[in-house]
Amino acid sequence: METPTTLTGILRSAADRFPSRRAISLAGQFDLTHSHLHDLVEIAAARLVSAGIKPGDVIALTFPNTVEFVIMFLAVIRARATAAPLNAAYTAEEFDFYLSDSESKLLITSEEGNKPAQTAALKLNIQNVTVSLTQTDSKQHKLNLNLNQTESDPNSNSTTELTNDPSDVALFLHTSGTTSRPKGVPLTQHNLASSVRNIESVYRLTESDSTVIVLPLFHVHGLIAGLLSSLGAGAAVTLPAAGRFSASTFWKDIVNYNATWYTAVPTIHQIILDRHQSNPEPVYPKLRFIRSCSASLAPAILSRLEETFGAPVLEAYAMTEASHLMSSNPLPEDGVHKAGSVGKPVGQEMATLDETGRVLETGVNGEVCIRGENVTKGYKNNPEANTAAFQFGWFHTGDLGYFDSDGYLHLVGRIKELINRGGEKISPIEVDAVLLSHPDIAQAVAFGVPDAKYGEEINCAIIPREGSNIDEEEVLRFSKKNLASFKVPKKVYITDSLPKTATGKILRRLVAEHYVSQN
């Protein structure tokens, strides 16, 4: 059988091969098989086409993690339109920016709606429609979508003659904008198909696998690694009943739905560990693996996860521009996991380059660069960003790292976040890792601040573990014992919260700005 070159082709193939297997569940409420999910997507796509949605039209979606979101996301790309998932927690001003920048033609929300999004859509004269899934007397599910139809039969199969093309832009996301204005990233059907195949391959996902989604589906990590790769493999996903991650129901859902793995960011892993420490489960299920991505996982946290839950923890490296996955540590049967590394390239070329575009030797720090079928061809309407990011035939990630003699990538940090203390280039990731190895520190972030003598000096902020009385003196004592003297933070801030992205990634730049402004 020919391998599909579109995401919709991969999902159609999974529905054909595993029609009666569970595809998606809303925890404690209902399940949909791959066949039933496929039928609902086709119906919704037909409704979109009948309402006048054309190939290339951008459709914004803002939902919690619900089955309705999954159906409508897949329906949008099946209709050859472009899905633009948005964080439901945005303000009206933020929705105004993202709806405008993506040139959205339609906004789809849950039946409950989203007032800030709807306010922005009304201002921009963008039609808003709602969707809900209800159960009929015959225990089937009906999709309620209040679109105005241009055809007499709202359920007519107007997708019959519609063929998805590998070059169709299926997904439009924005980078987080932590160091600059958010950049629009268009990802094609082929980009997504390539990434899904890469993820399925490295983690050996099959129809026997199952996962619980803990990350928001408007973000590339949860959407592609958790949801789409599972569905493409014929596997199953479970959405928490609350529409978001809940530490109190996580293990219950894992057990009830026979999950074999999960993927999360370091902050979520730490929450799960803290929950275990304060309120352990009577027994933990045997998982094939635990995956960590989107931010650096401190070796101490990785070890605690493996020891506590008895599963290998595979750290990976990913970016929105690469349709998520770029490199990963292997499963135990496929190779050695190297703590402190983000593994080997998966399905693409990767190298470290110097400023002239020269590929650097093993062990030499350089900018991490990639190229492959999963990588976007360029940012939308952003010539300056394209000029900076796409050079010498490579996409430049902005990360500094090196490859060891076994071909594993080690990240040093974001180039813009390296701390230059009197000419010494210090990786804040290295300092983070040491701080997090202290048993009384739950979260930590190191950052650079201006200094008259050295140019920059190191500070850090920590969140103590619950019940701990750790103070600045103890943090400094521990740092002096475990770090070279020039890497020891000059000042320690103890807090109960740190600014994070919607996926839980600590925003180092905002932490630095906050504490610099206090001095």
**Structural domains in the chain?**
7-328 (3.40.50.12780), 418-517 (3.30.300.30)
Residue 339 pLDDT class (50, 70, 90 cuts): confident
Average pLDDT over residues 207-227: 97
Strands (E), 250-404: 261-264, 289-292, 313-319, 324-328, 344-345, 349-353, 366-371, 390-391, 394-403
How does pLDDT run across 263-306, given as a tens digit for each residue? 999 999 999 999 999 999 999 999 999 999 998 899 999 999 99
* pLDDT on residue 79: 97
Position 151 pLDDT exceeds 50: no
Residue 180 pLDDT class (50, 70, 90 cuts): low
* pLDDT on residue 149: 57
How far is Cα 378 from Cα 438, in angstroms, rounded to an integer? 42
How does pLDDT run across 92-132, given as a tens digit for each residue? 999 999 999 999 999 999 999 999 999 999 999 999 999 99
How far is Cα 65 from Cα 43, in angstroms, rounded to an integer? 21
* pLDDT on residue 26: 97
> Locate tokens 């890792």: which residue?
433
How far is Cα 359 from Cα 352, in angstroms, rounded to an integer? 6
* More confident: 517 or 208: 208
* pLDDT on residue 345: 98
Residue 135 pLDDT class (50, 70, 90 cuts): confident
* pLDDT on residue 137: 66
How does pLDDT run across 428-441, given as a tens digit for each residue? 999 999 999 999 99
Position 218 pLDDT exceeds 70: yes
Weakest mean pLDDT among 36-45, 149-158, 296-305, 342-351: 149-158
Position 237 pLDDT exceeds 90: yes
Percent with pLDDT over 70 in the chain: 96
Please give the model's pTM, rounded to 2 decimal places: 0.91
Alpha carbon 475 to its chain centroid, in Å, reads 31
* pLDDT on residue 4: 80
SS3 content of the chain, % helix, strand, coil (to 5): 35, 25, 40
> Locate tokens 């991969």: which residue?
10
* pLDDT on residue 152: 41
458: closest CA among 436, 480, 440, 481?
480
Position 181 pLDDT exceeds 90: no
* pLDDT on residue 157: 56
How far is Cα 18 from Cα 233, in angstroms, rounded to an integer? 9
> Locate tokens 């297997």: which residue?
21
DSSP string spanning 222-250? IIIIIIIHHHHTT-EEEE-TTSS--HHHH
* pLDDT on residue 66: 97
Neighbours of 382 (CB within 10 A): 18
Q: Are 137 and 129 in contact (CB under 8 A)?
A: no
Q: Are 494 and 464 in contact (CB under 8 A)?
A: yes
Q: How far is CA 175 from CA 185, 190, 291, in A?
A: 7, 20, 22
Q: Are 270 and 308 in contact (CB under 8 A)?
A: no
Q: Are 376 and 382 in contact (CB under 8 A)?
A: no
3-state DSSP call for residue 161? coil
**Backbone phi and psi for residue 293, each to the nearest 5 degrees, phi listed first:** -160, 175
Position 518 pLDDT exceeds 90: no
Average pLDDT over residues 411-430: 92
Average pLDDT over residues 399-414: 95
Residue 138 pLDDT class (50, 70, 90 cuts): low
How far is Cα 84 from Cα 86, in angstroms, rounded to an integer? 6
* pLDDT on residue 189: 98
Sign of the CA dihedral with 178 first, then 180, 186, and 187 last: negative
How does pLDDT run across 442-471, given as a tens digit for each residue? 999 999 999 999 999 999 999 999 899 999
* pLDDT on residue 440: 95
